[in-house]
Amino acid sequence: MTIRSARAGTAALLALALSLSLSAPVPAFARDGGGDGGAPLRPSEAATRPWRVISGELNRAGYEHYTEVPFDLPAGVTRLTIRFRYGGKEQRSVLDLGLRDPQRFRGWSGGARDHMTLSVEDATPGYLPGPLPAGRWAVILGGPNIREGAHVPYEVRIFLEQRPTITEFADAPIAATPGWYRGDLHMHSGDSDGKCRAQSGVVIPCPVYRTVEAGAARGLDFIALSDHNTTAHFNALRALQGAFDRMLLIPAREVTTFWGHSNVFGPTDFLDFRMDAPRWDHARKWIDAVHREGGAVSISHPGAPSGEICMGCGWRVPDLPKGAVDAVEVVNGGTMRETGGADGPLQGFAYWKTLLDAGWHVTGIGGSDSHDADRAATEPGAVGRPTTVIYMPELSVPGFLSGLRSGRAFIDVEGTRDRMLDLRAATDARRAVMGQTLAVAAGDSVRFMADVKGVAAGWVQLIVDGQTSAAYRVAVQPGQPTALAPWRADGRRHWVRADVRDAQGRLLLIGNPIYIAQ
């Protein structure tokens, strides 16, 4: 393998100085100079062997020179990740890092980074997103400091994705522990139609960072910035994730068609939203793509009107097959602002009920649909109002998707930081929580228990198949679980969930179902 130098006259010397091999053993690095230790690999990367491991060594011949470490990228790569480490730091050796593709320079991070990732839509800061052409690429190593007699072993690990998949902008979970996490699953920046004010007070397309800052100011654990049909915001989100290391930035966009809108979570590649008719055979080209890549689909504001007031807003694709949808936006902050409440007919309750009645297990969520990052936090439709609260195995993109699909989630209508709702069901032999299925026999007595926090006065309403009854309405018991009247199983399939209202009847918390099966 030929090693090219920025100075042609030193090529032979460098060839002797470098020992380079593919799939070579990992070099032994000194404890105090053994590279940076590296940002932790995400579990998905750690579970997969690198496509290539290239190791070698530089010596004084590499001082104040640029050395290329070439590799041949195959066709069809959708994401390229390179992780780099080197030794010799106890001898004050320093190596800089850059990258080129067969046609152009792709970026330079010097000594600031030990890894980079590139795709069509996003790249590590300092590197350029764009197509990943097949052919001869090269990692570029600069040697600003290598002493006489120094030996600098290095290792380049190359990871490839050759089909679109879910994307994470963080190198590790924001929080590695299971628990309840609060976030906003619908908002917009100036990469579509989000607005905010400039220093002068004029209204401008809102930069991505302003929307992200608004989420952090609300104390949210995660946000999904879902600009319409575009992927332009993903590169900014990757750059911002490191600065917002307590809040997960979820890849999302709002697929916006003439017959309805849908937020999708996880994938970052282009999705062809151009439907020509309100039919499943037209919608499936993007819905199936999301699911193939491991992402989730949520129908946005399905009860909204469609027409000149809100073009294409209401969901009007009637023939979706079971499993096409993972979630429904039950409460939309913009609609709440227009109608003055969370439970009006223009919200998503009716569509959600239709799917649940048909036997779908689909998670009810909320989203602010914020188009104004400056909106006061006390107003409906501000970032974080409403909030969706999800029990996740960890605060990461895979953790979010797992939690969303599990159905153990509730909507905090006012976007507080402390209100909680969990629903449990039990028979003498079995237990279930929101999102789970409880198998019962006809005649079994099912006990429901609501765990409510942050509501001083009000009541819990049990809802069976979308119907309410005073028999299953109980005053909130602050500081302790609220027991509801036993429910007698009749041998048929049902879905049961709980809402919480305050003493004036305002809807505060919206729970997801427990599914009853024979």
Q: Which domains does the chain have, with CATH numbers?
A: 8-161 (2.60.120.380), 418-518 (2.70.50.30)
| Average pLDDT score, the chain | 91
| CA nearest neighbour of 259 among 304, 292, 207 | 304
Q: What is the pLDDT of residue 478?
A: 83
Residues in the chain: 518
Q: What is the pLDDT of residue 126?
A: 97
Q: What is the pLDDT of residue 309?
A: 78
| Distance in angstroms (rounded) separating the CA atoms of residues 239 and 123 | 8
pLDDT at residue 44 greater than cutoff 80: no
Alpha-carbon dihedral of residues 384, 389, 394, 395, nearest 10 degrees? 0
Residue entry with tokens 């991070």: 109
Residue 181's beta-bridge partner residues? 390
What digits encode the pLDDT tens for the residues 119-165? Answer: 999 999 999 999 999 999 999 999 999 999 999 999 999 999 999 99
Determine whether 447 is exposed, middle or buried from the number of CB atoms within 10 Å of its CB (0-12, 13-18, 19+).
middle
| CA nearest neighbour of 406 among 296, 301, 518, 286 | 296
Residue entry with tokens 């937020």: 263
pLDDT at residue 481 greater than cutoff 60: yes
Say what percent of the chain tops pLDDT 90: 88
The pTM (predicted TM-score) of the whole model is 0.89
Question: Which residues, at least 6 apart from 302, have a Cβ–Cβ distance to it below 8 Å?
Answer: 260, 314, 315, 328, 329, 348, 350, 351, 352
Q: What is the pLDDT of residue 199?
A: 97
The arrangement of strands across the sheet holding 152-161 comes to: 21-22, 52-58, 152-161, 79-86, 115-119
| Distance in angstroms (rounded) separating the CA atoms of residues 224 and 397 | 10
Pairing of strands 327-332, 363-367: parallel
Least-confidence region, from 32-41, 77-86, 228-237: 32-41
pLDDT at residue 496 greater than cutoff 80: yes
What are the start-end ranges of the E strands in 59-211?
66-73, 79-86, 94-100, 105-110, 115-119, 135-145, 152-161, 179-187, 195-197, 203-205
Q: Are 197 and 234 in contact (CB under 8 A)?
A: no
Pairing of strands 494-502, 507-511: antiparallel
pLDDT at residue 337 greater than cutoff 60: yes
Mean pLDDT of 21-27: 35
Q: What is the pLDDT of residue 8?
A: 33
Tokens of 352: 């959600």
Q: What is the pLDDT of residue 167?
A: 96
Determine whether 221 is exposed, middle or buried from the number of CB atoms within 10 Å of its CB (0-12, 13-18, 19+).
buried
What digits encode the pLDDT tens for the residues 204-249? Answer: 999 999 999 999 999 999 999 999 999 999 999 999 999 999 999 9
Say what percent of the chain tops pLDDT 70: 91
39 or 203, which is more confident: 203
| Distance in angstroms (rounded) separating the CA atoms of residues 385 and 369 | 9
| Distance in angstroms (rounded) separating the CA atoms of residues 16 and 3 | 10
In angstroms, the Cα distances linking 397 to 171, 173, 324 are 11, 8, 20
What digits encode the pLDDT tens for the residues 410-461? Answer: 999 999 999 999 999 999 999 999 999 999 999 999 999 999 999 999 999 9
11 or 77, which is more confident: 77
Q: What is the pLDDT of residue 50?
A: 96
| Distance in angstroms (rounded) separating the CA atoms of residues 129 and 331 | 35
Tokens of 397: 């993109």
pLDDT band at 30 (very low <50, low <70, confident <90, very high): very low
What digits encode the pLDDT tens for the residues 350-369? Answer: 999 999 999 999 999 999 99
DSSP of 349-396, one letter per residue? Answer: HHHHHHHHHTT---EEEEE--BSBTTS-TTSTTSTTSSEEEEEESSBS
What digits encode the pLDDT tens for the residues 368-407? Answer: 999 999 999 999 999 999 999 999 999 999 999 999 999 9
| Distance in angstroms (rounded) separating the CA atoms of residues 393 and 26 | 33
| Distance in angstroms (rounded) separating the CA atoms of residues 47 and 297 | 26
Mean pLDDT of 257-280: 97
Mean pLDDT of 335-351: 95
pLDDT band at 118 (very low <50, low <70, confident <90, very high): very high
| Distance in angstroms (rounded) separating the CA atoms of residues 368 and 334 | 6
Residue 395's beta-bridge partner residues? 175
| Distance in angstroms (rounded) separating the CA atoms of residues 14 and 75 | 30
pLDDT at residue 23 greater than cutoff 80: no
| CA nearest neighbour of 513 among 378, 364, 388 | 364
Pairing of strands 514-517, 437-439: parallel
Mean pLDDT of 100-129: 97
What secondary structure letter does DSSP report for 62?
Answer: G
| Distance in angstroms (rounded) separating the CA atoms of residues 502 and 214 | 27
pLDDT at residue 35 greater than cutoff 50: no
Q: Are 436 and 515 in contact (CB under 8 A)?
A: yes
pLDDT at residue 43 greater than cutoff 90: no
Q: What is the pLDDT of residue 1?
A: 28
Q: What is the pLDDT of residue 25?
A: 35
Q: What is the largest CA-CA distance in the chain?
A: 89
pLDDT band at 479 (very low <50, low <70, confident <90, very high): confident
In angstroms, the Cα distances linking 430 to 187, 306, 439 are 40, 45, 8
| Distance in angstroms (rounded) separating the CA atoms of residues 387 and 366 | 6
Q: How many CB atoms lie within 10 A of CB 217?
A: 12
